[in-house]
Amino acid sequence: MGVINVSPDSFSGDGLADVGEAIARAKQLASEGADIIDIGGESTRPSSTPISTDEELRRVIPVMEKLAQELSVPLSVDTYKLEVARRALDAGANMINDIWGLQKEPRLAELAAQKGVPIALMSNQRDSPCRDIMSAVISDLKRAIKQALSAGVPWENIIVDPGIGFGKTQQQNLEVLQHLEELQVLGRPILLGSSRKSFIGWVLDLTPEQRSSEVAFVQPGDQRLEGTAATTAIGIAKGADMVRVHDVKVMARVCKMSDALVRGV
Contact partners, residue 133, CB within 8 Å, separation at least 6 = 125, 168, 172, 175, 176
Residue of 197, 238, 249, 256 marked catalytic = 197
CB 168 within 8 A of CB 122: no
Rg (CA), the chain: 17
Nearest by Cα to 101 from 72, 137, 64, 49: 137
Catalytic (active site) residue 244 = yes
Residue 204: count of CB within 10 angstroms of its CB: 14
Q: Is 27 exposed, middle or buried (0-12, 13-18, 19+ CB in 10 A)?
A: middle
CA distances from 178 to 6, 50, 184, 231 (A): 32, 31, 13, 10
Residue of 59, 86, 196, 244 marked catalytic = 244
Q: List, by residue number, the catalytic residues.
A: 197, 244
